[in-house]
Amino acid sequence: STLLASSAASDVYKRQMRAIKTAFFQMLLFLRKDMMLFAACCSPVLIGIIFKFGIPAAEEILNRYIDFPLIRYYEIFDVLFALLTPLMFCFTASMIILEELDDNIAKYLLITPLNKMGYLAARMFIPCGVAFIVSAVLLPVFSLEQMSFGKILYFSACGVLQGCTIALLVITFSTNKLEGMGITKLSSLLILGLLVPYFVPGKVQYILSFLPSFWMGKAIYEDSLSCMIISLVCFTIWISALLKKFLLKIV
Is pLDDT of 145 > 90?
Answer: no
Specify the DSSP class assigned to residue 192.
Answer: G
Within 10 A of 3 (CB to CB), how many other CB atoms are there?
7
Whole-number Cα distances in Å, 134 to 84, 128, 130, 206: 11, 10, 6, 32
pLDDT category at 239 given cuts 50, 70, 90 is very high
Is pLDDT of 42 > 80?
Answer: yes
pLDDT category at 12 given cuts 50, 70, 90 is low
pLDDT for the residue numbered 28: 85
- Nearest Cα neighbor of 141 from 44, 43, 228, 40 is 44
**What digits encode the pLDDT tens for the residues 116-134?**
888 888 888 899 999 999 9
Where is pLDDT greater, at 136 or 106? 136
Helices of type H across the chain:
2-33, 35-49, 55-62, 74-102, 105-110, 115-120, 126-142, 149-173, 177-187, 196-199, 212-222, 225-249
